[in-house]
Protein backbone atom coordinates (compact mmCIF):
# COMPACT_ATOMS: atom_id res chain seq x y z
CA UNK A 1 0.00 0.00 0.00
CA UNK A 2 2.81 2.39 0.89
CA UNK A 3 4.54 1.71 -2.45
CA UNK A 4 1.32 2.61 -4.35
CA UNK A 5 1.00 5.84 -2.37
CA UNK A 6 4.67 6.63 -2.98
CA UNK A 7 4.28 5.93 -6.74
CA UNK A 8 1.16 8.13 -6.92
CA UNK A 9 2.95 10.90 -5.03
CA UNK A 10 5.96 10.64 -7.36
CA UNK A 11 3.73 10.65 -10.44
CA UNK A 12 1.83 13.70 -9.15
CA UNK A 13 5.08 15.57 -8.38
CA UNK A 14 6.41 14.77 -11.86
CA UNK A 15 3.14 15.97 -13.45
CA UNK A 16 3.19 19.25 -11.51
CA UNK A 17 6.85 19.83 -12.38
CA UNK A 18 6.13 19.36 -16.10
CA UNK A 19 3.13 21.70 -15.89
CA UNK A 20 5.17 24.38 -14.17
CA UNK A 21 7.86 24.16 -16.89
CA UNK A 22 5.16 24.74 -19.53
CA UNK A 23 3.77 27.73 -17.62
CA UNK A 24 7.23 29.32 -17.25
CA UNK A 25 8.13 28.99 -20.92
CA UNK A 26 8.56 32.20 -22.84
CA UNK A 27 7.33 32.55 -26.36
CA UNK A 28 10.05 32.61 -29.01
CA UNK A 29 10.82 35.86 -30.77
CA UNK A 30 9.26 36.10 -34.23
CA UNK A 31 11.36 37.92 -36.82
CA UNK A 32 9.18 39.96 -39.18
CA UNK A 33 11.82 41.93 -41.07
CA UNK A 34 15.60 41.79 -41.06
CA UNK A 35 18.07 43.76 -43.17
CA UNK A 36 21.35 45.54 -42.48
CA UNK A 37 19.54 48.73 -41.45
CA UNK A 38 16.21 47.45 -40.08
CA UNK A 39 15.15 44.63 -37.76
CA UNK A 40 11.56 44.10 -36.63
CA UNK A 41 10.76 41.32 -34.14
CA UNK A 42 7.66 40.32 -32.20
CA UNK A 43 8.51 39.38 -28.63
CA UNK A 44 7.37 39.63 -25.03
CA UNK A 45 8.07 42.85 -23.14
CA UNK A 46 11.52 42.57 -21.57
CA UNK A 47 11.90 42.34 -17.82
CA UNK A 48 12.10 45.62 -15.96
CA UNK A 49 9.08 47.25 -17.59
CA UNK A 50 5.58 47.27 -16.09
CA UNK A 51 3.33 44.45 -17.27
CA UNK A 52 0.42 46.09 -19.14
CA UNK A 53 -0.68 43.17 -21.29
CA UNK A 54 -2.85 42.10 -22.92
CA UNK A 55 -2.14 44.69 -25.59
CA UNK A 56 -4.68 45.60 -28.28
CA UNK A 57 -3.01 43.37 -30.85
CA UNK A 58 -3.37 42.66 -33.65
CA UNK A 59 -3.99 46.32 -34.50
CA UNK A 60 -4.56 47.77 -37.97
CA UNK A 61 -2.81 51.05 -38.71
CA UNK A 62 -1.96 52.50 -42.11
CA UNK A 63 1.75 52.81 -43.03
CA UNK A 64 1.36 56.52 -43.85
CA UNK A 65 -0.23 57.15 -40.44
CA UNK A 66 2.69 55.38 -38.77
CA UNK A 67 5.17 57.37 -40.89
CA UNK A 68 3.52 60.64 -39.82
CA UNK A 69 3.45 59.70 -36.12
CA UNK A 70 7.12 58.74 -36.12
CA UNK A 71 7.93 62.27 -37.32
CA UNK A 72 6.24 63.71 -34.22
CA UNK A 73 8.65 62.11 -31.74
CA UNK A 74 11.43 64.38 -30.49
CA UNK A 75 14.13 64.09 -27.86
CA UNK A 76 16.08 66.64 -25.93
CA UNK A 77 19.76 66.16 -25.18
CA UNK A 78 20.44 67.40 -21.70
CA UNK A 79 22.98 70.12 -21.41
CA UNK A 80 26.10 69.64 -19.32
CA UNK A 81 25.57 73.11 -17.87
CA UNK A 82 23.20 73.43 -14.93
CA UNK A 83 19.91 75.30 -15.50
CA UNK A 84 20.27 75.24 -19.30
CA UNK A 85 18.16 73.32 -21.79
CA UNK A 86 19.51 71.08 -24.48
CA UNK A 87 18.57 71.13 -28.14
CA UNK A 88 15.58 69.21 -29.48
CA UNK A 89 16.02 66.72 -32.31
CA UNK A 90 13.79 64.26 -34.14
CA UNK A 91 14.12 60.69 -32.88
CA UNK A 92 13.85 59.28 -36.42
CA UNK A 93 15.27 60.60 -39.69
CA UNK A 94 12.97 60.72 -42.71
CA UNK A 95 14.72 57.65 -44.13
CA UNK A 96 14.17 55.73 -40.88
CA UNK A 97 10.50 56.80 -40.82
CA UNK A 98 10.13 55.42 -44.34
CA UNK A 99 11.61 52.08 -43.31
CA UNK A 100 9.68 51.85 -40.04
CA UNK A 101 6.31 53.15 -41.28
CA UNK A 102 5.27 50.10 -43.28
CA UNK A 103 7.24 47.56 -41.22
CA UNK A 104 5.69 48.64 -37.89
CA UNK A 105 2.21 48.72 -39.44
CA UNK A 106 2.66 45.16 -40.67
CA UNK A 107 4.09 43.96 -37.34
CA UNK A 108 1.29 45.54 -35.26
CA UNK A 109 -1.19 43.71 -37.51
CA UNK A 110 0.55 40.39 -36.80
CA UNK A 111 1.33 40.82 -33.09
CA UNK A 112 -0.39 38.67 -30.49
CA UNK A 113 -1.93 40.27 -27.35
CA UNK A 114 1.15 39.37 -25.26
CA UNK A 115 3.72 40.65 -27.79
CA UNK A 116 5.38 44.01 -28.39
CA UNK A 117 7.09 45.06 -31.61
CA UNK A 118 10.84 45.41 -31.09
CA UNK A 119 12.79 47.40 -33.67
CA UNK A 120 16.33 48.41 -34.50
CA UNK A 121 16.86 50.98 -37.25
CA UNK A 122 19.78 52.86 -38.81
CA UNK A 123 20.43 55.02 -41.87
CA UNK A 124 22.28 53.68 -44.90
CA UNK A 125 24.83 56.48 -44.52
CA UNK A 126 25.53 55.52 -40.88
CA UNK A 127 24.57 51.84 -40.48
CA UNK A 128 26.68 51.61 -37.32
CA UNK A 129 24.47 54.11 -35.41
CA UNK A 130 21.27 52.37 -34.32
CA UNK A 131 18.11 53.38 -32.55
CA UNK A 132 16.39 50.52 -30.71
CA UNK A 133 13.07 50.31 -28.95
CA UNK A 134 9.57 48.86 -28.65
CA UNK A 135 6.11 49.79 -29.86
CA UNK A 136 2.72 48.50 -28.76
CA UNK A 137 -0.92 49.60 -28.73
CA UNK A 138 -2.98 49.79 -25.54
CA UNK A 139 -6.42 51.45 -25.25
CA UNK A 140 -6.14 53.05 -28.73
CA UNK A 141 -2.82 54.67 -27.82
CA UNK A 142 0.56 53.95 -29.37
CA UNK A 143 3.33 53.44 -26.82
CA UNK A 144 6.93 54.09 -27.96
CA UNK A 145 9.85 53.08 -25.75
CA UNK A 146 13.36 54.04 -26.88
CA UNK A 147 16.13 51.98 -25.28
CA UNK A 148 19.08 53.14 -27.37
CA UNK A 149 19.24 56.39 -29.34
CA UNK A 150 21.70 56.66 -32.24
CA UNK A 151 24.05 54.31 -30.40
CA UNK A 152 27.23 53.33 -32.28
CA UNK A 153 27.77 49.60 -32.81
CA UNK A 154 31.25 48.42 -33.74
CA UNK A 155 31.83 45.24 -35.74
CA UNK A 156 33.60 42.40 -34.01
CA UNK A 157 32.73 43.51 -30.49
CA UNK A 158 30.45 41.52 -28.24
CA UNK A 159 28.87 44.60 -26.66
CA UNK A 160 27.95 47.94 -28.12
CA UNK A 161 30.06 50.92 -27.18
CA UNK A 162 28.83 54.43 -26.63
CA UNK A 163 31.00 57.39 -25.83
CA UNK A 164 30.02 59.47 -22.85
CA UNK A 165 27.43 61.88 -24.17
CA UNK A 166 24.92 64.06 -22.42
CA UNK A 167 21.84 62.13 -21.38
CA UNK A 168 18.64 62.55 -23.36
CA UNK A 169 14.92 62.24 -22.80
CA UNK A 170 11.95 62.00 -25.11
CA UNK A 171 10.11 65.30 -25.28
CA UNK A 172 6.29 65.05 -25.32
CA UNK A 173 4.73 66.92 -28.23
CA UNK A 174 1.12 67.90 -28.89
CA UNK A 175 -1.26 65.23 -27.48
CA UNK A 176 1.71 63.18 -26.23
CA UNK A 177 2.70 62.29 -22.69
CA UNK A 178 5.31 60.29 -20.83
CA UNK A 179 4.27 57.00 -19.29
CA UNK A 180 3.92 57.56 -15.54
CA UNK A 181 4.06 54.71 -13.08
CA UNK A 182 1.72 56.53 -10.66
CA UNK A 183 -1.85 57.70 -11.31
CA UNK A 184 -1.07 61.30 -10.33
CA UNK A 185 1.32 61.60 -13.30
CA UNK A 186 4.44 61.44 -11.15
CA UNK A 187 7.19 58.95 -11.75
CA UNK A 188 7.38 59.70 -15.49
CA UNK A 189 9.58 57.38 -17.52
CA UNK A 190 11.30 59.75 -19.92
CA UNK A 191 12.18 57.20 -22.62
CA UNK A 192 8.49 56.14 -22.96
CA UNK A 193 6.01 58.30 -24.92
CA UNK A 194 2.30 57.68 -25.48
CA UNK A 195 0.32 59.16 -28.37
CA UNK A 196 -3.43 58.69 -29.06
CA UNK A 197 -4.36 56.88 -32.27
CA UNK A 198 -7.98 58.12 -32.55
Helix or strand (DSSP H, E) at 20 = helix 2-24
**Model confidence, pTM:** 0.77
The torsion angle over the Cα atoms of residues 70, 72, 76 and 77, rounded to 10 degrees, is: 30
Q: Where are the domains of the chain?
A: 29-196
User: pLDDT truncated to tens, each residue of the chain (198 aa)?
Assistant: 555 554 544 444 444 444 443 444 456 799 999 999 999 999 999 998 988 999 999 999 999 999 999 999 999 887 666 666 677 889 999 999 999 999 999 999 999 999 999 999 998 888 888 999 999 999 999 999 999 988 766 544 444 444 444 488 899 999 999 998 777 667 888 899 999 998
- In terms of phi and psi (left: phi > 0; alpha: psi -120 to 50; beta: otherwise), the region of 150 is left
Amino acid sequence: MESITAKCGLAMASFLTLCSFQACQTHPNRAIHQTEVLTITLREMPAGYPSLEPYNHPYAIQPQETFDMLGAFDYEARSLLPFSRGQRHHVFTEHQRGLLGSALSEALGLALPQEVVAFSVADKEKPDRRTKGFVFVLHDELHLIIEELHKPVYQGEENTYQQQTPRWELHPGVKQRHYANRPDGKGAITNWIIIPLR
